[in-house]
A and B are shown apart, each in its own frame.
Chain A
Amino acid sequence: MNYRWRLIGGILALAILVFGAVGWADVPLPHPVYVHVQNGSGVSPDNGDLTFEAWLTKAPAAVLTQSSFDCDYGGFILGYCTVNCGNFGIEWTAGDVVHIEVEQTSTGDVGTGEFTLNNENLQFFPYPSGIIIGPIPSPSEVWVDDDYTSASCGAHTWGYDAFVTIQEGIDAVSGSTVNVAAGTYPEYIHITTDNLTVQGAGIDQSIIDLDGLLPYWHYPGNGSYASRAGVLISGYGSPDEIAEGVTFKGFTVKNAGLNPPTPYTEYIDIYADGQDDVRGIGVHNGKDILIQNCKVENSGGPGISVGKARLTTLVQSEDVTITSCVSINNSESGISVGSYVGAISITNNTSSNNKRPHPDADREFSGKGIEISGRNSSNLISGLISGNTCSDNGYQGIVLKNYSDGVVIENNTITGHSFDQDGAGIFFYGKSSNPAYDQNHIIRNNTVTGNIRGIVAYYAQNCTIEGNTITTDSGVFPVGQGGIKLDGANNMLVQNNTLSSLDGIGIKVQNTWNHVKAYDNTITGNTITGAQFAGIPIWGGAHDNTFEYNTITGTTELTFWSGQAYEETQADGVFIDDDAGTSNVFHYNSIHGNAGDGMENQIATEIDAENNNWGSPTGPYHPTLNPTGLGDSVSDNVDFEPWFGAETGSVVVDPDVAPGDPPVENPDAGVSVTIESGTGSTAVTIAEYSSPPPDTPSFGAGATYMDVQISNPGNVTQLSITFENMTASTVIYFYLPGTGWIACSNQTYASGTITVTVTDSTVPTLAQLTGTIFAGGSALGNVNGDSVIDVLDVRLCLQIATGFIEGTGAQRASADVDGDGDVDLTDAQILAEYIIGIRTALPGGGSV
């Protein structure tokens, strides 16, 4: 049966070709046109429930209906009108337009459509290019192209889903998408439709250029500043006062507020820069908003602004994402978020050169790269600011202000904010001087370079600042500002930051001008190189802060408040001002090579600075307490004993460990100690060194150096030391002065961990884990480390010199009083002369 029909079709086709060729040229060719018909609900009339009339627009008198020969509704294809153009009785040609009017019999709904013919054998017009009867629904997707005309809009319907302006498309669409082709669109845009995507062809492809246009304002009057934007996404006027589920992407928006026709009533120019203060892209009362892959430039206000619609009862935005955008050369901040609730996401944007002269006489420029703020004290902003580049903005790079809680700022590059005297790379502060409104932030792994200040925590608490790379550049302003500044901040963790090339101080801790205190902060593992005035200064009542494992070197001299009664000139590693608070402690830091003191303490209360490395095994120089010290000097009221003779990578001390207690762990070193058995408690120290401690022979390439020390071996009968991340072939060695490196006798390997057991009969013995810790330093000449240089040191020196004993690293360092790198009879003789008064100083030390 099928074969037979195909055969007949083939014969007919052949006949048409033959007849056409031999003389039927004047007879219209058959040309069926199939047009889909449906109502606004997407339902096509049943067969027999639709009539139509069709004609060529060039010959409207020749009409075909559903009853004409070879015409039909639903008979050939369900839901389709079939109009055979060959039956109009006149010749048709490609480009002719057939006009069809339909009516549903049962409902009376009507519809029309016009369809351009081509040379194909037949034509299909499926939905949505067919005919819609009854009320015409808004299209769910529209297309905008500045090249469209009524006669040329691709496969779309001019005025229905094809437009020449973006706003027409937005107004016409019902949900879904407005597709905007590459081109230039001189129009202000406002979006109040929920669940809408407006997508251009990309940055510098679809360009909204607002130069010379009258800005659109969504509502007039006092609040109109927030009602205007080059592209405004606003909940104002909608029933729930929220614009929800809007995506705007793939555009360049430029020149908002530039050269508007003047005068007009809503013109605002607060900064008197001649440009109407109109935002580039504004989101007001937005929720679930995505701004993506847009460039905003040369706006009269912020480039991208998120906030509130002022005339609504709901004044907030939430769930906004701004990603992969470029905001440059705007008159205010590149990205500005305020009156916001909950988590925001600002990622992978570039915000640069947003600045203009500040109207205040004592200020220079305004404009920030990214600034965000919560709505109020009960509605704080949180979220993620990541992967952005902020450079050369007028004021600051990234700012958290007023009300914020739990913002992560990571992997951003912030540079060149040196145009305003109050400039900074990252600045976060709490409203009303309240740290509780500025808390729980994480600022990590950012590159913050070339700004007047690096990272400033102002009225903040419980934040972590870690792993950032910071330099400072004062620009045209006096040097002296901080790489990291904790100002009225508490319970902050500042760790593992690298500060160098500083145009001022390193890490500053102080109370604020209005006495909000800086306390209980931990500053650890930071490297501060080349600060001016002080690597770490403590000012203004700051108290109970802990500074550990920091390296502070190369500080140079700087004078503050020159010419004032309180002029201060310093070049210290650590400077504690006379108005600083008490109980600030410094442990395990390496402070050396600073032009001034390693530590100057101007308060009367002694500061705990034990177990720091001062750049020499002989300790810090103090004119009376350690006159032979070759390290950085310390002032009075610095408790610097004991000190370390070498830089430590990490040190963990537990002063009271007994059998049955949990292991003492040094996680950075991957080493832990467990007191397995014994009769009492002992202190346990686990230290890690980046290089061999002084005068301890190197084990060779690839070795790492740990130090396990116990204070009371008499209370211990067995302990175990575990070393993590080991291989099965790794051997743990013990350095025994006089003998050298020897393998620990009882070590076992299992699952990447080596466990060394120590008793009175092992190598090493428990007793050999006592004494000063491996890198413990002592004064030059104070060979036995008892803080007194006397005849006992002379003999110990002689014993080392004659080889009777080898001495510990620290002992040898102290015994080498002539500093020639070796301990010999000359050292013993010099030391002897020193203690009996023949000489008044050791070769490298100070005076007695």
Chain B
Amino acid sequence: MNYLDKGRKGVIAVRSRRVVVAMLAVGLIFALTACMGGWFTHEQKATLIIGQPAISGNRGEVLISVTNMPSQGLASIAIDDQGIVTANIDPTSVKVEGLNGFTLLASEFVGIYGCLAAANPTSGSVGGTIIKITFEVTGADPTFTLDKTKVSIGSALNTLITTWDLNIDTSYYAK
């Protein structure tokens, strides 16, 4: 009985170590694939990204980018009045520029609020930077945040893109 009990304990101990190793291996594989961007489902979803301000001296810069946009890509964007909320920037110094074929059509920054509209008449962006915003810093830790409910985006097929996420992690796209 004791042998059996002892031996049985030993078997169990060996098996437990093998399971732990196997689980570690699987976890490593999952981690690697995740780092490659090919496993986590949220990374497949259309995403609008507003980056963290990059500050250099008294000037700052924010990029607006997209990824995984459907229907041949994002081709138009409208951020309604008060759709952009800022802090510690000079609103009168804000300049907005369309990138990668996007034409800025309208923008306005007053007080802490801002809005803009831009479009690409010829094609859409499945992924990439579409707008650059520059400004003068007036205080520590300037911020740009978006109210998703005030943002409309359209595709290159001139259809609304209604399912998308807003991401404010600047390193997200950079990764």
| Contact, CB under 8 Å: A795 / B108 | no
| Contact, CB under 8 Å: B119 / A833 | no
Q: Which residues of B contact A790 (CB under 8 A)?
A: 78, 152, 154, 160
The 0/1 profile, CB within 8 Å of A marked 1, for residues 101-120 of chain B is 00101101000000111111
Within 8 A of A (CB), among B126-158: 152-154, 158
Q: Which residues of A contact B80 (CB under 8 A)?
A: 835-837
Within 8 A of B (CB), among A817-838: 825, 828-829, 831-833, 835-838
| Contact, CB under 8 Å: A798 / B119 | yes
Pick the contact of A835 from B75, B117, B122, B160 — CB < 8 Å? B117
Bound Cα distance A828, B103 (Å): 10
| Contact, CB under 8 Å: B115 / A795 | no
Pick the contact of B78 from A784, A804, A836 — CB < 8 Å? A836
Provided the pairs A790-B160, A832-B105 are in contact, do residues A798 and B121 lie with their beta carbons within 8 angstroms?
A: yes
Bound Cα distance A831, B106 (Å): 9
| Contact, CB under 8 Å: A798 / B160 | no
Verify if B92 is at the interface (C-beta below 8 Å from A). Answer: no
Pick the contact of A838 from B77, B108, B152, B158 — CB < 8 Å? B108
Q: Which residues of A contact B121 (CB under 8 A)?
A: 795, 798-799, 801-802, 804
Bound Cα distance A802, B76 (Å): 15
Q: Which residues of A contact B115 (CB under 8 A)?
A: 836-838
Quick one: which of A794, A795, A829, A837 has the most chain B CB within 10 A?
Answer: A795
Verify if B81 is at the interface (C-beta below 8 Å from A). Answer: yes
Provided the pairs A794-B117, A836-B115, A837-B115 are in contact, do residues A828 and B105 lie with their beta carbons within 8 angstroms?
A: yes
Of the four ranges (under 10, 10 to 19, 20 to 34, 35 or more), the interface on chain A belongs to 20 to 34
- Shortest Cβ gap from B65 to chain A (Å): 18
Bound Cα distance A452, B147 (Å): 66
The 0/1 profile, CB within 8 Å of A marked 1, for residues 16-36 of chain B is 000000000000000000000
Verify if A796 is at the interface (C-beta below 8 Å from B). Answer: yes
Verify if B159 is at the interface (C-beta below 8 Å from A). Answer: yes
Verify if A43 is at the interface (C-beta below 8 Å from B). Answer: no
Bound Cα distance A530, B153 (Å): 48
Pick the contact of A832 from B117, B154, B158, B160 — CB < 8 Å? B117
| Contact, CB under 8 Å: A794 / B160 | no
| Contact, CB under 8 Å: B77 / A837 | no
- Shortest Cβ gap from B116 to chain A (Å): 7
Verify if A791 is at the interface (C-beta below 8 Å from B). Answer: yes
A796 to chain B: closest residue by CB: B158
| Contact, CB under 8 Å: B106 / A791 | no
| Contact, CB under 8 Å: B119 / A791 | yes
| Contact, CB under 8 Å: A794 / B119 | yes
Q: Which residues of A contact B158 (CB under 8 A)?
A: 784, 792, 795-796
The 0/1 profile, CB within 8 Å of A marked 1, for residues 69-107 of chain B is 000000111111101000000000000000000010110
Bound Cα distance A829, B105 (Å): 5
Quick one: which of A790, A802, A836 has the most chain B CB within 10 A?
Answer: A836
| Contact, CB under 8 Å: A836 / B119 | no
| Contact, CB under 8 Å: A804 / B122 | yes
Within 8 A of B (CB), among A740-799: 784, 790-792, 794-796, 798-799
Bound Cα distance A799, B121 (Å): 5
| Contact, CB under 8 Å: A792 / B117 | no
- Shortest Cβ gap from A847 to chain B (Å): 16
- Shortest Cβ gap from A81 to chain B (Å): 116
Bound Cα distance A794, B131 (Å): 17
| Contact, CB under 8 Å: A794 / B105 | yes
Provided the pairs A792-B158, A798-B121 are in contact, do residues A832 and B78 lie with their beta carbons within 8 angstroms?
A: yes
B82 to chain A: closest residue by CB: A837
Q: Which residues of B contact A801 (CB under 8 A)?
A: 121
| Contact, CB under 8 Å: B81 / A792 | no
A801 to chain B: closest residue by CB: B121
Q: Which residues of B contact A835 (CB under 8 A)?
A: 78, 80, 117, 152
Q: Which residues of B contact A791 (CB under 8 A)?
A: 76-78, 117, 119, 152-154, 160
B124 to chain A: closest residue by CB: A795
Bound Cα distance A832, B152 (Å): 12
B160 to chain A: closest residue by CB: A792
| Contact, CB under 8 Å: B154 / A792 | yes
Pick the contact of B106 from A795, A796, A804, A838 — CB < 8 Å? A838
| Contact, CB under 8 Å: B160 / A829 | no
Q: Which residues of B contact A804 (CB under 8 A)?
A: 121-122
Q: Which residues of A contact B106 (CB under 8 A)?
A: 829, 832-833, 836, 838
- Shortest Cβ gap from B82 to chain A (Å): 8
Quick one: which of B80, B121, B152 has the most chain A CB within 10 A?
Answer: B121
Bound Cα distance A829, B117 (Å): 9
Q: Which residues of B contact A795 (CB under 8 A)?
A: 75-76, 119-121, 154, 158
Bound Cα distance A798, B80 (Å): 18
Q: Which residues of B contact A831 (CB under 8 A)?
A: 105
| Contact, CB under 8 Å: A798 / B81 | no
| Contact, CB under 8 Å: B81 / A836 | yes
- Shortest Cβ gap from A815 to chain B (Å): 12
Bound Cα distance A791, B106 (Å): 12
Bound Cα distance A784, B155 (Å): 14
- Shortest Cβ gap from B58 to chain A (Å): 27
Q: Which residues of A contact B81 (CB under 8 A)?
A: 836-838
Bound Cα distance A792, B152 (Å): 9
Within 8 A of B (CB), among A184-209: none
| Residue ranges of A at the interface with B (Cβ–Cβ < 8 Å) | 784, 790-792, 794-796, 798-799, 801-802, 804, 825, 828-829, 831-833, 835-838
- Offer 14 A-B interface pairs, CB within 8 angstroms, sorted by A: A790-B78, A791-B154, A792-B154, A792-B160, A794-B119, A795-B158, A796-B158, A798-B103, A802-B121, A828-B119, A829-B106, A832-B105, A832-B106, A838-B108
Query: 10 tightest CB-CB pairs across the interface, nearest first?
Result: A837-B81, A832-B105, A832-B117, A795-B76, A832-B106, A791-B78, A795-B119, A833-B106, A791-B152, A836-B115
Extra inter-chain contacts (20) besides given A790-B160, A832-B119, CB under 8 Å: A790-B78, A790-B152, A791-B77, A791-B119, A792-B159, A792-B160, A795-B119, A795-B121, A795-B154, A795-B158, A798-B105, A798-B119, A798-B121, A799-B122, A825-B103, A828-B105, A828-B119, A833-B106, A836-B80, A836-B108
